[in-house]
Amino acid sequence: MIAYVTVGADDLALAKRFYTAFLPQLGYDLSESLEGLSFALPFDPGQDLRLPDFYVKPTFDGRPASAGNGAMVAFEARDQVQVRALHGAALAAGGSDEGKPGFRAAYGPRFYVAYLRDPQGNKIALFSSNPEDPQRPD
């Protein structure tokens, strides 16, 4: 089980603007500290911890942050409408498009996804496989 994912950022204010454009809509709460941004799914006492957490932090070694080649973090949306809305919000908050919302032939008939880059260059996917949504027309 993945417990958390961390990406580096040189400009935490810009990263905050980007990630708060869509993560709260997916249920994540934000807490901030000198160490950076921490996004976590809420849970009640006695309930199992909801993982994974997502962290945006300055680099530990003090060198500039960089995106991992081939690395990507995917967040599940409730449906195709939310994928489109969150993709648009993330672009308006400083992200760049890496693949407009839609179906991809290489994936299942209900896998609807959008790809983008955060301001630091980290690749992000927003997807839905909601069985109540339309499937890919083949």
3-state DSSP helix/strand/coil % of the chain, to nearest 5: 20, 35, 50
Tell me how far CA of residue 119 lies from CA of 41, 64, 67, 71, 125, in angstroms. Answer: 23, 13, 10, 15, 14
pLDDT per residue as tens digits for the range 26-84: 999 999 998 999 999 998 888 887 889 999 999 999 999 999 888 999 999 999 999 99
- 82 three-state secondary structure: helix
| Class for the domain spanning 4-58+73-128 | alpha beta
pLDDT per residue as tens digits for the range 91-133: 999 999 999 999 998 999 999 999 999 999 999 999 999 999 9
Picking from 94, 86, 98, 118, the residue whose alpha carbon sits closest to that of residue 5 is 118
